[in-house]
Amino acid sequence: MQGADKAFPVSWDMFHRDARALAWRLAAIGGFSAIVAVTRGGLAPAAVVARELGIRVVETVGVGSYHEENERGEVQVLKPLTETILARPSAEVLIIDDLVDTGATAKVVRDMLPKAHFATIYAKPQGLPMVDTFITEVSQDTWIFFPWDTGLSFQAPIGRPDARPEGRRRRSL
């Protein structure tokens, strides 16, 4: 959680609701014939949006900027766009990612498809200029815990971050 002071856990239900809300906004715009999911975070929202909008051409672009899951490094293209996408008018392409943080990853993908529509579920202030459509803005110092990155565990109360579950009495089921 490099540089993040706040935690924002997202459950599968919240994520699905927000991905559908993104699809509603994108449906109002229309004109999309293909989706490019930015892997890995864009895979889950792209699946929901593709289903909701009836888009069957879904491709990926692999872009990495995190190492050890929380340390940001240089942005690298790990898997380039396919000819299937590059042959289409980029204005018909919808780029989907889970989050825009600093905008570094989004800029790399936008440079590949400058007229494509870029949509994310969550957006931080530094990355906002790179995104056309998003659902929820969070502060720059917030770390989003996506449902595929977490499991069920004790959460300390916000007012008592040092609270530990060890001292709590366990209840039998």
Establish whether 98 is an annotated binding residue.
yes
On the question of pLDDT at 2 being above 80, the answer is no
In angstroms, the CA 161 to CA 147 distance is 21
Q: In this predicted structure, what is the pLDDT of residue 164?
A: 67
Looking at the domain that runs over 6-151, which CATH code has it been given?
Answer: 3.40.50.2020
Establish whether 101 is an annotated binding residue.
yes
What is the chain's mean pLDDT, rounded?
89
What does each C-alpha distance from 63 to 22, 31, 149 come to in angstroms? 22, 25, 18
In angstroms, the CA 150 to CA 143 distance is 13
Catalytic residue, chosen from 5, 13, 18, 97, is 97
Tens of pLDDT, residues 76-127: 999 999 999 999 999 999 999 999 999 999 999 999 999 999 999 999 999 9
Tens of pLDDT, residues 20-34: 999 999 999 999 999
Catalytic residue, chosen from 13, 18, 101, 162, is 101
On the question of pLDDT at 173 being above 90, the answer is no
Higher pLDDT, 73 or 51: 51
Q: In this predicted structure, what is the pLDDT of residue 167?
A: 53
Establish whether 104 is an annotated binding residue.
yes
Q: How is residue 44 written in tokens?
A: 């889950």
User: Are 36 and 95 a contacting pair, CB within 8 Å?
Assistant: yes
Q: In this predicted structure, what is the pLDDT of residue 75?
A: 87
On the question of pLDDT at 170 being above 80, the answer is no
Q: In this predicted structure, what is the pLDDT of residue 165?
A: 63
Tens of pLDDT, residues 153-162: 777 787 877 7
Q: In this predicted structure, what is the pLDDT of residue 64?
A: 84
Binned at pLDDT 50, 70 and 90, residue 146 comes out as very high
Tens of pLDDT, residues 5-20: 899 999 999 999 999 9
Torsion sign across C-alpha atoms 97, 64, 40, 77: positive
Catalytic residue, chosen from 5, 13, 18, 98, is 98
Establish whether 99 is an annotated binding residue.
yes
Q: What is the pTM of this model?
A: 0.83
Q: In this predicted structure, what is the pLDDT of residue 162?
A: 75
Average pLDDT of span 38-46: 96
The identity of residue 126, as a single letter, is Q
141 is catalytic: no
DSSP letters, the chain, are -TT--EEEE--HHHHHHHHHHHHHHHHHH----EEEEEETTTHHHHHHHHHHHT---EEEEEEEEEETTTEEEEEEEEEPPPHHHHTS-GGGEEEEEEEESSSHHHHHHHHHSTTSEEEEEEE-GGGGGG-SB-SEE--TTEEEE-GGG--------TT-TT--GGGSPPPP-
149 is catalytic: no
